[in-house]
Amino acid sequence: MLDLRYIRENAGAVKKNCADRGVEADVDLVVGLADRRSALLQELEGLRARQNQLAKAVGKERDEGARARLIEESRELKERIPELEEELHRVEERLTEEQLKIPNLTHPEAPIGKDDSENVEIRRWGEPKEFGFEPKDHVELGEALGIIDFDAGAKTTGSKFYFLRGDAVLLELGLVRFALDLLSGRGYELAMTPDLARDRMLLGTGFVPRGPETQIYSVEDTDLSLIATAEITLAGQLADEIVEEGSLPRRFAGLSHCFRTEAGAHGRASRGLYRVHQFTKVEMFAFTTPEQSEEMHREMLGIEEEIFRTLEIPYRVVDICTGDLGAAAYRKYDVEAWMPGRRDYGEVTSTSNTTDYQARRLGIRYRPEGGRPRLLHTLNGTAIAVSRTMIALLENHQREDGSVVLPEALVPYVGREVLGPPHR
C-alpha cells in the first residue's frame, strides 16, 4: 500500500503510475476521502473539546436560563458526535478499500508496456539442444515413464491435478533438497510454512483472497485461504512487529505447497504441468532496510540463475514491464527456461522487490539505532517451482529411447542417474 501522504502530495505521478501499470484505481477519490477524513477528525476533536467544556460549565453555572442553554447544547453535541463518528468509520473503510487498489511505485528503469508481450529480455545462458530425433514434451515423457499420472489426478480431484509416481517422487524431493541445501549455504533460514493463511496476510502481500477476480482457494465460513506461494506466510510471520536494524537483512527459504485456481488458462502453452492447481515450491524471502533491497534483489536473481545453470537448462532473464508487474512489485525479473515441448521459453522463476508496499499493509517495521521505527522492505524470489522445473528437466535431458539423464549435481539428491521406462 502506498503512503497516503505521498498519494495526496503526488496525485499526478500516482495516476500516471496506475496508467503505466494498467491498473484501475480512482486516485482522486482516495484524495477526496482522505480530505474528508481529515475534516471529520478535526471537527470531532473540536466537538469533543467543547463537550468537555460544557460538562464543566454546567456544574458551575448558577443562572438557570444560561444553565438550560448549556444543557441543550450538550444534548445536541451528544447526538451529533455519534453521527460524525459513524460517518468517519464509513469514510475510513472506503478509504482503505480504495487505497488498496493503488499499486506500488515502479522502478524508473522498469520497461513501460501493457502486458507480457512487452517484457524486455536482458540476457541468455546456454543454447537450446539440437536433438537428433523428434523430442517429446513432458506429458508424453511422463506417461511413457509412468511417473506423471494426470488421469488419476483428474479422477480423484479434478482437471489440472496430478499424481507423481515412482522416480518423479524422488525427483521432486531431490529438487527441493537441492534448493534448500544451496540456500542454507547462502545464509537463508529454512522454514516449512503452513499451506493456509489468514486473508489479512493475503491482502497484506497484494493478493485478492475473495471475490470474482481471485485466483485463490478460500475456506468457507473462515478467514483462511490456501496460499498461492510461501511469500504470503513468510511475509506474514512478522506482521505488526518491529525488528532491530542490526538483524537485517533476514533471509528465509520457505517450503510449501502452492494452490492456484489458474482460471482461464488453456492451450498448448498451459499443457500438462505448466499450469496446475497445486505444486510444491521453495521460495526465497527477505526483510531488508531500504538501502539493502536492490542488492538483495540482485542476489536473488543470481541464485535463480545459478540453480538453472547447475541443472544445465538453457534460460533467459526478462525484465518485467509495468503492465505485467502486478500490484506489489516495484521491479520484477523472470527467469524463463527453454522448453522443447513448447519450442519456446517458459517462466520458471520470478523475483520481485516490493519495497515498503507489503510492510505498510502488514505493519512490519525496523528500528534504526537511536531512531524511530521505519518501514522495512520485503523481497521474494522463486528458488524451485517443482512442476515447471520438472518440465524443463525432462524435456531438455531426454534421450531418443524416452529415458532422461539427470544433471550431475542432481544425481546425489535423486539417487538416480537416469530416469528410465518402468520395469514390466
**Strand (E) or helix (H) holding 85:** helix 64-99
**Strand (E) or helix (H) holding 331:** strand 331-339
Residues of the chain with pLDDT > 70, as a percent, come to 97
pLDDT reported for residue 90: 96
Q: What residue type is 78 in one-letter code?
A: K
Quick one: pLDDT band at residue 246, thresholds 50, 70, 90? very high
Q: Give the residue carrying C-alpha cell 509495468.
A: 322
Look up residue 218 and give its DSSP letter. Answer: B
Give the number of other CB atoms < 10 A from CB of residue 244: 10
**Planar angle of CA 254, 240, 280, nearest 5 degrees:** 15
- In total, the chain counts a number of residues equal to 424
pLDDT digits (tens, 9 = 90+) for 275-302: 999 999 999 999 999 999 999 999 999 9
pLDDT digits (tens, 9 = 90+) for 191-215: 999 999 999 999 999 988 777 667 8
- Average the pLDDT over 12-34 and give the result: 95
Quick one: pLDDT band at residue 73, thresholds 50, 70, 90? confident
Residue 358 φ then ψ, to 5°: -75, -40
Q: Give the residue carrying C-alpha cell 512442476.
A: 387
Q: Catalytic residues, which ones?
A: 260, 275, 347, 350, 388
Quick one: pLDDT band at residue 356, thresholds 50, 70, 90? very high
Residue 403 φ then ψ, to 5°: -80, 165
Say if residues 113 and 59 touch (Cβ distance below 8 Å): no
pLDDT reported for residue 22: 92
Distance between CA atoms of residues 407 and 401, nearest Å = 18
pLDDT digits (tens, 9 = 90+) for 334-353: 999 999 999 999 999 999 99
Quick one: pLDDT band at residue 263, thresholds 50, 70, 90? low
Exposure string over 320-347, b if 16+ CB within 10 A, otherwise e: bbbbbbbbbbbbbbbbbbbbbbbeebbb
Question: How many C-alpha atoms does 100 have within 13 Å on its Cβ side?
Answer: 16
pLDDT reported for residue 229: 96
Cell numbers for 72, please give them.
Answer: 441543550
Look up residue 111 and give its DSSP letter. Answer: P
Query: Which residue would you say has higher pLDDT here, 59 or 320?
Result: 320
Distance between CA atoms of residues 172 and 130, nearest Å = 26
The ranges of the chain annotated as CATH 3.30.930.10 are 116-419
Say if residues 50 and 62 touch (Cβ distance below 8 Å): no
pLDDT digits (tens, 9 = 90+) for 48-63: 988 888 888 877 767 7
Q: Which fold has domain 116-419?
A: BirA Bifunctional Protein; domain 2 (3.30.930)
Distance between CA atoms of residues 291 and 353, nearest Å = 12
pLDDT of residue 265 exceeding 60, the answer is no
Least confident of 53-57, 133-137, 254-258, 375-379: 53-57
The backbone region for 309, taken as left when phi is positive above 0, alpha when psi lies in -120 to 50, beta otherwise, is alpha
In 3-state terms, what secondary structure has residue 15?
Answer: helix
Residues of the chain with pLDDT > 90, as a percent, come to 85
* Start-to-end CA span in the chain (Å): 58
Quick one: pLDDT band at residue 29, thresholds 50, 70, 90? very high
- Average the pLDDT over 319-330 and give the result: 95
pLDDT of residue 266 exceeding 70, the answer is no
* Average pLDDT over the chain, rounded to an integer: 93
- Least Cα distance to 88 among 125, 132, 39, 140 occurs for 39
pLDDT reported for residue 69: 85
pLDDT digits (tens, 9 = 90+) for 139-195: 999 999 999 999 999 999 999 999 999 999 999 999 999 999 999 999 999 999 999
pLDDT of residue 269 exceeding 90, the answer is no
The ranges of the chain annotated as CATH 1.10.287.40 are 4-99
Q: Give the residue carrying C-alpha cell 498448448.
A: 268
CATH number of 4-99: 1.10.287.40
In 3-state terms, what secondary structure has residue 205?
Answer: helix
In 3-state terms, what secondary structure has residue 375?
Answer: strand
